[in-house]
């Protein structure tokens, strides 16, 4: 998990279009990071807690289904998840491993590839601790009889250009429709897809898997699978065609201007994630409700060249007061320098 991480929304339908069946049990937001289920809740009618029959039917017909823990699937994880979020145990390695793998094992997978983030926007910012988590996940999964590997990927900036539930769904939908999207998001998604298709025996190697995943994305096959999944779980059948019309929109939008010119040298992903929570797009307490419309869009990335006054991002808020309350905090999350910075890699390592 990480800030702006909408990989699952792309990866599940891509894999389904490549011939895989993807029963994905996901979670809600934890700490400063967003949750896949919270993003899907922004789609009208989408049921993240279907009964087992509907879950199985959607996987069989669409090839994929992204849902949350239910009374029949990893029931204890929902309670533990909420407790972790409000007891300062979000970053506990044993609890992370237990939470993730309980859901994956309950789904009855034949192969698993984990995306473990590191950097300012990740659960575990340091490379050493992220590597330790990746190794623990792979080891425990293998001990449970599940072939597994993990990619260490960068979260030193937002993955994609949007952060916030409906805004991230809109960004993923645009990429599925074939619109040009963030290259880092595309790279991570295709890298994970390549590894999983190879591990699942659907292609001979990860390179062939990446090529197959790319074709599924660019041909529109993945878009069809996404629409079938959304419709199968109660959402609108035309969610991609009508896109933004189907998603909630915040009444206030305002740019956050750069205080001076320069190159974006660093982005504090954690600060941006916390700003989204302050806007109402995440939880501070387990019982909090979420405003799915709020967040940040058009976020500039590391290496971008800006003039004074150019937008660092666009704030989406429920009121001018809410926008004003976080604007300075958001601006401080961006460090500007005179020289072009070294842009961090997208994928750091593979743990097998």
Measured in whole angstroms, how far is the alpha carbon of residue 222 from the centre of its chain?
A: 17
- Of the candidates 348, 304, 22, 13, the one whose C-alpha atom is nearest the C-alpha of residue 188 is 348
Measured in whole angstroms, how far is the alpha carbon of residue 46 from the centre of its chain?
A: 17
Give the model's pLDDT for residue 90: 78
| Residue at token pair 């997208």 | 346
Q: Residue 102: what are its φ and ψ, rounded to 5°?
A: -60, -40
Q: Which helix (H) or strand (E) holds 320?
A: helix 320-332
Paired tokens of 195 = 């590894």
Q: What pLDDT, in 10s, does the model give residues 288-322? A: 789 999 999 999 999 999 999 999 999 999 999 99
Give the model's pLDDT for residue 81: 74
Per DSSP, helices labelled H in 41-164 are 52-62, 75-85, 93-106, 127-143
163, 299 in Cβ contact below 8 A? yes
Distance CA 326, CA 194 (A): 39
24, 142 in Cβ contact below 8 A? no
Please tell me whether residue 229 adopts helix, strand or coil conformation.
helix
Give the model's pLDDT for residue 30: 64
Please give the CATH number for the structural domain made up of 7-244.
3.40.1030.10
Paired tokens of 90 = 């979000």
Annotated domain spans of the chain: 7-244, 249-337
| Mean model confidence pLDDT for the chain | 92
| CB count in 10 Å sphere of residue 165 | 31
Work out the average pLDDT over 78-86.
Answer: 78
Please give the CATH number for the structural domain made up of 249-337.
3.90.1170.30
Q: Could you give the percent of the chain with pLDDT greater than 70?
A: 97
Q: Which helix (H) or strand (E) holds 8?
A: helix 7-17
Q: What pLDDT, in 10s, does the model give residues 253-288? A: 999 999 999 999 999 999 999 999 999 998 776 667
> Distance between terminal CA atoms of the chain?
20
Question: Is it the case that residue 28 has pLDDT exceeding 80?
Answer: no
Identify the DSSP state of 244.
Answer: G
pLDDT band, very low/low/confident/very high, at 92 (cuts 50, 70, 90):
confident
Question: Is it the case that residue 171 has pLDDT exceeding 70?
Answer: yes
Question: Is it the case that residue 346 has pLDDT exceeding 90?
Answer: yes
Distance CA 157, CA 182 (A): 12
Question: Is it the case that residue 73 has pLDDT exceeding 80?
Answer: no
Q: What is the DSSP string of 180-221?
A: ---HHHHHHHHHHHHHHHHHTTSSSSHHHHHHHHHHHHHHSH
107, 24 in Cβ contact below 8 A? yes
Question: Is it the case that residue 209 has pLDDT exceeding 90?
Answer: yes
80, 101 in Cβ contact below 8 A? no
Residue 282 region, left (φ>0) first, then alpha (ψ -120 to 50), else beta? beta
Question: Is it the case that residue 179 has pLDDT exceeding 70?
Answer: yes
């Amino acid at each position: 998990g990480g800030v702006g991480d909408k990989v699952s929304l792309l990866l599940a339908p891509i894999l389904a279009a490549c011939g895989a069946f993807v029963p994905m049990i996901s979670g809600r937001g934890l700490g400063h990071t967003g949750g896949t289920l919270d993003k899907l809740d922004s789609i009208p009618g989408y049921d993240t807690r279907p009964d087992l029959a509907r879950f199985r039917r959607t996987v069989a017909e669409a090839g994929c289904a992204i849902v949350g823990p239910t009374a029949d699937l990893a029931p204890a994880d929902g309670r533990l998840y909420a407790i972790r979020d409000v007891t300062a145990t979000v970053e506990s390695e044993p609890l992370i491993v237990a939470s993730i793998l309980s859901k994956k094992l309950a789904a009855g997978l034949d192969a698993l590839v984990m995306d473990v983030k590191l950097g300012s926007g990740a659960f575990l910012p340091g490379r050493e601790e992220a590597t330790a988590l990746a190794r623990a996940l792979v080891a425990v999964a293998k001990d449970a009889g599940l072939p597994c590997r993990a990619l260490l990927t960068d979260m030193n900036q937002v993955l994609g250009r949007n952060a916030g539930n409906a805004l991230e769904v809109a960004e993923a939908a645009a990429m599925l429709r074939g619109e040009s999207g963030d290259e880092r998001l595309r790279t991570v998604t295709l890298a994970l897809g390549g590894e999983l298709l190879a591990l699942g025996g659907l292609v001979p190697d990860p390179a062939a898997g990446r090529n197959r995943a790319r074709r599924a994305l660019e041909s529109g096959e993945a878009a069809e699978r996404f629409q079938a999944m959304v419709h199968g779980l109660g959402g609108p059948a035309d969610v991609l065609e009508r896109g933004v019309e189907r998603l909630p929109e915040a009444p206030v939008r305002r740019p956050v201007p750069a205080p001076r010119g320069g190159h974006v040298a660093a982005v504090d992903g954690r600060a941006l994630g916390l700003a989204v929570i302050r806007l109402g797009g995440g939880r501070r307490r387990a019982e909090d409700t979420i405003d799915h419309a709020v967040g940040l869009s058009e976020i500039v990335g590391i290496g971008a060249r800006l003039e004074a006054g150019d937008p660092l991002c666009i704030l989406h808020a429920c009121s001018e007061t809410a926008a004003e309350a976080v604007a300075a905090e958001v601006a401080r999350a961006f460090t500007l320098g005179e020289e072009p910075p070294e842009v961090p890699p997208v994928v750091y390592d593979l743990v097998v």
